[in-house]
């Protein structure tokens, strides 16, 4: 039987780091955490008691205790570059949370000091690995929509949304002309990271919209602050091609030019009604066939955790000599376009992206 992938975590008390701990707990035959780096003494004790894994004070302590296959760096954008550089010097592959650096200068510096020197770094951008997005991508790859011309993403903020736009449009490092605007409106506050709201509160939230014109392909970015947690605001993704369209879970396809073929993406869960197999996502079907099959069934993981588990598997394959699944150049491009969206929204001016040094990789 294949041994589990072993990884360490820097920033082990962070909100995001605990996703990796839950995944390893649910999938012990596939993943094992060698240890966490937590600088705060009280938090170290709490994490050790809560997760029953080694909790260390420094990166050096982590690596001295056991050499993992790679290290997950789950710290702030400002702290991330230092850890990536230290791991590269030690020859340890790193999986960084997005963003890998806090600004354009930092992204350029990482490219010069890491990518060009052969450091093994990937970035845990998970949105394109959500089950429904994998299913959507399968339909696009099969050519069922024909040549893709437009995509609208209203799912998450800046680099996350941009990564989905590029994936759905099939865009690499091409330049875009970007226009943006902001609209503010009141809404009832929803849950936060700490849980459900404790009282009714009306808050004013900005809605940022941007149009990324790639010359023949259009990406529309649309995000309202905290929309992905709101109970009264919905996420949306659509992709339009010459021969068809994906609109959230609906597919408008053609059998031939004179015969429409409407389909739906259907989630197949076990554990519903009289089914006694346990509760988990088996996969997603379109019509009579699977377009996504859950490789982690029957573990009880929700979509974000399934996507992060796919990042861990992608990283393990990459460390073992496989292809990049989302490297620093891609992450840097998405962060860079996110900066330009912010500029276009703030100024009301059209801005145009310029090829950055990572586009040559």
Residues 314-343: pLDDT tens digits? Answer: 999 999 999 999 999 999 999 999 999 999
Categorise residue 170: left if φ over 0, alpha if ψ from -120 to 50, beta otherwise.
Answer: left
Residue 97 near residue 74, CB atoms below 8 Å: yes
Measured between alpha carbons, how far is 153 from 155 in angstroms, rounded to an integer? Answer: 6
- Give the 3-state secondary structure of residue 36: strand
> Is residue 95 exposed (0-12), middle (13-18) or buried (19+ Cβ within 10 Å)?
buried
Point out the residues of the chain with pLDDT beneath 50: none
pLDDT reported for residue 101: 87
Sheet with 351-352, strands from edge to edge, namely 289-293, 280-286, 259-270, 250-256, 245-247, 236-241, 148-154, 218-224, 202-213, 177-188, 351-352
pLDDT reported for residue 261: 95
Measured between alpha carbons, how far is 61 from 165 in angstroms, rounded to an integer? Answer: 40
Token pair 């059998």: residue: 255
Region 128-302: CATH code: 3.30.360
pLDDT reported for residue 181: 97
Residue 215 near residue 223, CB atoms below 8 Å: no
Strand ranges (E), 63-200: 70-73, 94-96, 121-123, 148-154, 177-188
Record the pTM. Answer: 0.94
CA pseudo-torsion sign 74, 57, 110, 88? negative
pLDDT reported for residue 42: 86
What is the domain partition of the chain in residue ranges? 5-123, 128-302
- CB-facing half-sphere around the CA of 262: CA atoms within 13 A: 2
Arch. (CATH architecture) of 5-123: 3-Layer(aba) Sandwich (3.40)
Question: What is the DSSP secondary structure assignment for residue 195, as one 8-state letter?
Answer: B
- Tokens for 141, please give them: 């790859």
């Amino acid at each position: 039987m294949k041994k589990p992938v072993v990884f360490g975590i820097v920033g082990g008390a962070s909100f995001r780091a605990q996703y990796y701990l839950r995944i390893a707990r649910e999938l012990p035959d596939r993943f094992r955490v060698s240890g966490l780096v937590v600088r705060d003494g009280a938090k170290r004790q709490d994490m050790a008691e809560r997760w029953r894994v080694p909790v260390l004070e420094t990166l050096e302590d982590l690596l001295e205790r056991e050499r993992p296959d790679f290290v997950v760096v789950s710290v702030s954008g400002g702290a991330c570059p230092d850890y990536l550089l230290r791991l590269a010097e030690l020859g340890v592959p790193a999986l960084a949370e997005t963003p890998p650096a806090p600004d354009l200068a930092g992204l350029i510096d990482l490219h010069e000091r890491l990518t060009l020197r052969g450091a093994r770094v990937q970035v845990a951008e998970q949105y394109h690995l959500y089950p429904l997005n994998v299913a959507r991508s399968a339909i696009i790859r099969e050519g069922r929509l024909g040549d893709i011309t437009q995509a609208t993403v209203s799912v998450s903020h800046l680099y996350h949304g941009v990564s989905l736009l590029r994936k759905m449009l099939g865009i690499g490092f091409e330049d875009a002309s970007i226009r943006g605007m902001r609209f503010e409106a009141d809404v009832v506050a929803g849950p936060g990271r700490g849980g459900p709201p404790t009282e009714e509160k009306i808050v004013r939230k900005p809605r940022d919209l941007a149009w990324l014109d790639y010359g023949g392909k259009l990406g529309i970015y649309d995000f309202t602050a905290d929309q992905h947690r709101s109970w009264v605001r919905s996420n949306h993704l659509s992709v339009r091609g010459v021969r068809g369209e994906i609109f959230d879970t609906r597919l408008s396809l053609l059998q031939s030019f004179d015969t429409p073929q409407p389909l739906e993406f259907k989630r197949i869960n076990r554990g519903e009604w009289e089914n006694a197999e346990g509760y988990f996502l088996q996969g997603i079907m379109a019509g009579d066939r699977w377009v996504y099959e859950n490789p982690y069934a029957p573990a009880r993981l929700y979509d974000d955790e399934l996507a992060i588990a796919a990042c861990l598997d992608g990283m393990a394959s990459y460390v073992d000599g496989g292809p990049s699944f989302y490297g620093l150049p891609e992450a840097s491009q998405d962060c860079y376009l996110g900066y330009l969206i912010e500029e276009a929204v703030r100024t009301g001016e059209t801005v145009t992206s310029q090829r950055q040094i990572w586009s040559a990789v």
